[in-house]
Amino acid sequence: METYLLDWANLLVRWLHLITGVAWIGASFYFVMLDSSLRKPVKSADSDRGVSGELWAVHGGGVYQSQKFLAGPQGEPLSDHLHWSRWEAYTTWLSGMGLLAIIYWFGANTYLIDRQVMPLTPVVAIMISIGTIVGGWLVYNTLCSMLKGKDTLLAVVIFIFVMLSDWALFQLFSARAAYLHVGAMMGSIMVANVFFHIIPGQKSMVAEIRAGQTPDPKYGVIGKQRSVHNTYFTLPVLFIMISNHYPMTYSHEQGWLVLGFIMMAGVLIRQYFVLRHRGNANKALLVAGVVLLLTMVAYLKPSVPDVGQSTTISDSQIQQVVIDRCVACHAVKPTQAGFVSPPLGLVLETSEQIKLNAAKIATTVQTRYMPLGNLTQMTDDERALIAGWHEQQTQ
């Protein structure tokens, strides 16, 4: 019953995470587009009111006019009906932390720890997980303070820091968990930017406007910087959110480097769209991002095992490996703790069932996606044996 309830908690929290994530990122993308697309007001009266830029748009059967006031409206009170974009970010983070706890903390032995990488205890692994998220924000925030006004250098140093964190996590956790924690760290930085800098700055600005004062420009400078960082983090974080479905990326022996190249492709593609909103699209950025992704496609191409013409791998050999390493989960009644039914309904208890699912078994084993966390300690020789057997089946 406990496992059943955890599955439902996983489903519902994941659904909430997806919904609020779409709302947060959608709003973020919209405001980046809006801010980058503003044009000088056509009417001088609008400029006199303090309008610094405007955008006319058509959507949903209507025409909209958006105007930006850098220091609030001049000669008229600020509206009491202000929309604040914050709860989307907070709820996305809270639901994400809930998923992290349900999957990677409660299931630390299965999903977080790979004893062939580092023989951690669940308590130690969970403490490292929490430390990564908290420490990531502290380092990032310190870098922003130290390199104030040096945005290009700051961007380079932040990328180096993320890559070092990426590499370090691959030395500690399972590959899948390492990817996830890079994303959790970056996502936490994004929401901390909103909570500690963007929203407080906006509140101070609004309070000064309502008091008839000129807003301190530092709030706008800091808020703009952190918003820019957030928009470039977005595509890498979105990729990491879906990466657990694609083990050929994180399970590679240089998976941390693969993630770095894919994140860089995301940054380049995002930069293309940011510039495009300003009417200055640089197609070289888009091409460079696509080239990086295609390079990863070629780099991650699985090698065809050389089984030798005189070597014959019997079905019974493979069945024994599957019994030893897979059937604890992939049985009608799994014996592995935490499973009440076989994952994806896949049962591998007989030779016929194994042969029927040969391609799926070979792929998941070669990419090291299975066994989860390598709980059953499948060896590299056994993985090669299964790959060679499948290759024989297709000849």
Q: Give the distance between the most distant pair of CA atoms in the chain.
A: 90
Give residue-wise pLDDT tens across range 46-65. 999 999 999 999 999 999 99
Cβ pair 54, 68 in contact under 8 A: yes
Cβ pair 228, 245 in contact under 8 A: no
DSSP 8-state assignment for residue 216: P
pLDDT confidence band for 192 (50 / 70 / 90): very high
Cβ pair 197, 244 in contact under 8 A: no
The pTM is what? Answer: 0.86
What is the full DSSP assignment across 100-150? Answer: IIIIIITTIIIII--TTT----HHHHHHHHHHHHHHHHHHHHHHHHHTTT-
Neighbours of 52 (CB within 10 A): 14
Neighbours of 56 (CB within 10 A): 11
Cβ pair 143, 155 in contact under 8 A: no
Average confidence (pLDDT) over 382-391: 86
How far apart, in whole angstroms, are the C-alpha atoms of residue 363 and residue 354? 13
Would the pLDDT of 246 be above 80?
A: yes
Give residue-wise pLDDT tens across range 107-122. 898 889 988 899 999 9
Give residue-wise pLDDT tens across range 196-220. 999 999 999 999 999 888 888 888 8
- % of the chain at pLDDT higher than 90: 62
Helices 87-99 and 175-193 pack at an angle, to 10 degrees, of 160
pLDDT confidence band for 307 (50 / 70 / 90): low
274-307 b/e with 16+ CB inside 10 Å = b? bbbbeeeeeeebbebbeebbeebeeebeeeebeb
Cis link prior to 215 (omega < 30° from 0)?
A: no
Average confidence (pLDDT) over 265-275: 95
Give residue-wise pLDDT tens across range 217-233. 888 889 889 999 999 99
Average confidence (pLDDT) over 316-326: 89
Average confidence (pLDDT) over 295-302: 88
How far CA 115 is from CA of 119, 122, 186, 256, 323, in Å, comes to: 4, 11, 26, 18, 21
Average confidence (pLDDT) over 321-336: 88
Give residue-wise pLDDT tens across range 334-347. 888 777 788 878 88
pLDDT confidence band for 39 (50 / 70 / 90): very high
- Computed over every residue of the chain, the mean pLDDT equals 91
- Torsion region of 75: left, alpha or beta (phi above 0 gives left; psi -120 to 50 gives alpha): left
First to last CA, the chain: 45
Give the list of residues 6+ apart from residue 248 with CB closer than 8 angstroms, or none. Answer: 300, 302, 367
Residue 126: predicted pLDDT:
98
Q: Is 58 exposed, middle or buried (0-12, 13-18, 19+ CB in 10 A)?
A: exposed
Per DSSP, helices labelled H in the chain are 2-37, 44-48, 87-99, 122-146, 151-170, 175-193, 199-210, 217-243, 247-250, 255-277, 283-299, 315-325, 351-356, 358-366, 380-394
pLDDT confidence band for 191 (50 / 70 / 90): very high
